[in-house]
Structure 1
Amino acid sequence: MKNISFLLLLLSITASAQINRFFYEYKFIPDSNNKEDVKKEMMQLDIDQKGSNYYSRDKFVADSTSRAEVQKQIKGGGGNINISRRENQGQVGYKVTKSYPDFKTSLFTRISMDQYKVKEDQKPEWKILPEKQKIGEYNAQKATTAYGGREWIAWFSTDIPFQDGPYKFYGLPGLIVKLEDTTGSHIMTLVGNKKMEAPAPSEDMEVPGNVRIMGLGGKELEISKSQFKKLWKDYVNDPSKSMRQMMMGNGDNTRVSFKVRTQDGKEISDPNQVFREMEKRTKESLAKNNNPIEPDLVK
């Protein structure tokens, strides 16, 4: 009996360490003035007993590789830390987590140099409709909701017993296997899934106190949606503010320098020129990315 009890305990521990990973093909149109330019990104929704994580596969791989490179350089004791820009950084920079059973939802994103955990205060309110159709290999039913400044159509399947879905969407009687807004600007379609061992959680990088690495390591500042909206508006109005604050230092004689290349390949290091170039690039980027998944968040 002792051997049997030990075996059952071992099986229970092994099962709890598994996740259900769902792969969504995400098609989106960043620029509403150029609807022919449709981007694609493979997103992953990892579900376990505690909750779910939704994120870009390419960004996860790129960040993991860069993190390993930085850790190696720090342990090597060199004076400089260099991060090579990878070919595929991922086009979707945010991550969304939900905790079970209450489905507390958080958006992990950044503005300029700063990382944030934005607490969600809105729950999707669904209207389930009688329409049904086959989505891939799954029998699905239609539902609609208004959320984040868009009207959404979801197809959920009770064949997959998870009340979850891509991005911040959840609360239907089965997994959302397809989600699209009514303009066709954002479409997420389930294309595969598998069970696998839960990946080991990434540890926070131990970096010297005077080193700050954009997008890697460090803790996210937890804020509300209203606080994020204000920070975003400040960023749009003054894109180089964080960089200027870093260059001013913390009164400890720490000197920070930046170099950037212009579109014609010219390297500039003069702070005023760097800031002007950053502002120019930011405004160009915002103009070309005017069709976000959640418009209400960046009004």
Structure 2
Amino acid sequence: MVSICIHAQVNRFFYEYKFIPDSNNRGDVKNEMMFLDIDKNGSSYYSRDKYISDSISKNELEKQLKSFSGNISVNRRENPGIISYKVIKQYPDFNTYLFRNIATDQYKIKENSKQDWKIIPDKQKIGEYNVQKATVNFGGRDWIAWFSSEIPFQDGPYKFCGLPGLIVKIEDSTGSHIMTLVGNKKVLQTSTEDKYLDLPQNMRVYGVGGKEIEVTKDQFKKVWKAYVNDPIKNMREMMMKNTDDSKVSFKVKTSDGKEISDPNQVFREMEKRTKETLAKNNNPIEPDLIN
């Protein structure tokens, strides 16, 4: 994507997100810094590391496309971020959209239901803020939140919103997902208006270019189920659609460092890796979205 820059001041809140991706290995706790950017029109929640990685990758890809000679190299960043999704909320109605990738496709899922919070009298202090407790069942999990009316935003990390103050901390009842506010500042943000790159025929790049596919939650579940059953379908389709003028090749390295380029071997290796990754990410933040 090419970004058209528009400068606007936003309130940026920093959340430390600790989570356990594999319910069978609770000692493996991941950590990601997340941004919650709030302005008068709404909010955006996304990974800091992924944002930086994507910006660098898009700039590199744009340079290659300007002098396209038949070959494009897309390299994996050293620190691409763990969290790939993004959540957008639109004020004043808090229409909420989740953006998630499946293989080379990006989906835009609208959240229709509002959270039915139960505010509890319990109060405490977290960091510098006086907070109050609230609970909710959402996405297949029971959540405990602490919000502060000292921060006048009815918003919070991920899809959470609707309390009379910003959510300072929220965690699920199993302790698998914990989001804690660790700082904030006003920034002159360069927001982006996405302009899609003109990729060579039949070429798709993970997380880059292409318009989001708008789907309902039920439609996304069907797509996810099909992906789990056949995680390399998109790669096969891309290879089959190649023309003489637009060839796409894949190379991967096996666990022992051997490089393979034969399409059938590449597909087998990628399918094996993807299924192993899916098996180790069995504890999602929102189970109802994929189960």
TM-score, normalized by length of structure 2?
0.94
Unaligned runs of 5+ in 2: 1-6
Cα drift, residue 21 of structure 1: 0.3
**In the alignment, what sits opposite 2:106?**
115
1:235 deviates by 0.5
8 Å CA contact 1:53–1:95 kept in 2: the answer is yes
Distance of 2:248 and 2:279 partners within structure 1: 29
Aligned runs of 1:139-218 on 2, under 5 Å?
139-210=130-201, 211-218=203-210
Counterpart check, 1:59 vs 2:50:
yes
Q: Offset of 1:251 from its aligned partner?
A: 7.1
Question: How far apart are the structure 1 equivalents of 2:264 and 2:8?
Answer: 52
Amino acid at match of 1:126: W
Letter in 1 for 2:75: S
The one-letter code sitting in structure 1 at the alignment partner of 2:267 is F
Q: State the 1:295 CA deviation.
A: 0.6
- In 2, the alpha carbon distance for the partners of 1:198 and 1:260 equals 37
Report the counterpart of residue 12 of structure 1 in structure 2. none
Q: How much does 1:257 deviate?
A: 2.1
Say whether the 8 Å CA contact 1:204–1:218 is kept in structure 2.
Answer: no
Within the candidate set 124, 133, 137, 1:133 is matched to 124
Query: What SS does the aligned partner of 1:222 have?
Result: strand
Q: Could you tell me how far apart the structure 1 residues matched to 2:47 and 2:261 are?
A: 33
Partner Cα distance (1:248, 1:150) in 2: 41
Asked if 2 retains the 8 angstrom alpha-carbon contact of 1:166 and 1:176, the reply is: yes
**Correspondence for 1:278:** 270
2:3 paired residue number: none
1:239 aligned residue: 231
Q: Using the alignment, how far apart are the partners of 1:253 and 1:224 within structure 2?
A: 37
Give 2:212's match in structure 1, choosing from 203, 214, 220: 220
Query: Aligned-pair distance for 1:203?
Result: 3.5
Aligned to 1:18: 9
1:298 to 2:286 alignment: no
Question: Aligned residue for 1:95?
Answer: 86
Alignment match, 1:265: 257
The alignment of Structure 1 onto Structure 2 pairs a total of residues equal to 284
Quote the Cα distance in structure 2 between the aligned partners of 1:190 and 1:245: 43
Which structure 1 residue ranges, 4+ long, deviate > 4 Å from structure 2? 250-254
Alignment partners' CA distance in 2, 1:282 and 1:206: 27
RMSD: 1.6
The structure carrying a bigger helix percent of its residues is: 1
Per-residue deviation, 1:76: 2.8
Compute the displacement of 1:255 (Å): 3.4
Take 2:230 and 2:194, find their aligned partners in 1: how far apart are those partners? 33
Q: Tell me, in whole angstroms, the C-alpha distance in 1 between the residues paired with 2:46 and 2:69.
A: 33
2:126 partner letter: I
Is the 1:19–1:47 contact (alpha carbons within 8 Å) kept by the matching residues of 2?
yes
Separation in 1, partners of 2:152, 2:184: 13
Q: Distance in 2 between matches of 1:122 and 1:241?
A: 32
- CA drift of 1:244 comes to 1.0
Deviation at 1:184, TM superposition (A): 0.3
Report the alpha carbon displacement of residue 202 of structure 1 after superposing the two structures with TM.
Answer: 4.9
2:4 paired residue number: none
> How many Å separate the matches in 1 of 2:88 and 2:125?
28
| Structure-1 residue corresponding to 2:240 | 248
TM-score computed with the length of structure 1 as normaliser? 0.91
Q: What letter is aligned with 2:229?
A: N
Alpha-carbon contact 1:51-1:99 (below 8 Å) kept: yes
Aligned partners of 1:249 and 1:255 also within 8 Å: no
Task: Looking at secondary structure, tell me which structure has more strand per residue.
Answer: 2
**Offset, 1:217:** 2.0
Higher relative contact order (CA 8 A, sep 6+): 2
- Alpha-carbon distance between aligned partners in 1 of 2:274 and 2:48, rounded to the nearest angstrom: 25
